[in-house]
Amino acid sequence: MALDRWIGLVLLGICLIYGYTAWFTMDDALAPFMRRNPIWPSTFPKVLSILGILASLVIVLGLEKGDAKIGDIDYRKLWEYNLGQALLLLGLMVAYALLLRPAGFLLSTSGFLIAGSLILGERRIFLTLMIAGVATGIVWYLVQVVLGIFLRPLPLFIGG
């Protein structure tokens, strides 16, 4: 079986477990007055699990493939791809998740966006700094002010 089908099979297993959780275990703890609502907290996870199962089945059954194209991933040549960039981005995501609380949202998010763009090959530093700053500020404003969800903007040692 090809690498994409193995990945599709793993995703199918994850979506089945997620779907089981959404359909059978999430709604047990609902208060009685919430059981009459048309939309429950598990509605979106149920839809996601169905879509994930369908997409995984398309990959596992090979319905998305016509003939093999030049741009397809060949698992026998996996080491010829840019694995370094992918691994650096995964490490950067882990570092972002670990630094989000101690470093604050503004510093960790802008650092993630700047470092991620540099890893992917962007060399216009001024443009990268502007876009990361504006995007981080807009997201923080929307979450903090518009949605009313507290998001620590500054590091612990500054904003305590």
The pLDDT value recorded for residue 23 is 86
User: Do residues 92 and 143 share a domain?
Assistant: yes
| pTM for the structure as a whole | 0.57
Q: At what angle do helices 83-103 and 105-119 cross, to 10 degrees?
A: 170
Residue whose pair of structure tokens reads 């949605």 in the numeric block: 147
CB 60 within 8 A of CB 29: no
The mean pLDDT of 142-151, rounded to a whole number, is 84
pLDDT of amino acid 98: 93
Q: What is the count of structural domains for the chain?
A: 2
Q: Are residues 73 and 97 in the same domain?
A: no
Same domain, 88 and 154: yes
Alpha-carbon distance of 18 to 86, in angstroms, equals: 26
**Among the listed residues 51, 59, 49, the one whose alpha carbon sits nearest the alpha carbon of residue 9:** 59
Parent domain of 108: 83-159
Residue 83 above 60 pLDDT? Answer: yes
pLDDT tens digits, 15-54: 999 999 888 887 777 777 777 777 777 788 899 999 999 9
Is residue 65 over pLDDT 80?
no
Specify the pLDDT at position 152.
78
Domain end point (choices 47, 79, 111):
79
pLDDT at position 158: 73
Angle between helices 105-119 and 125-141 (to 10 degrees): 140
Residues 87, 59 share a domain: no
Same domain, 113 and 53: no
- Sign of the dihedral through C-alpha 69, 70, 76, 78: negative
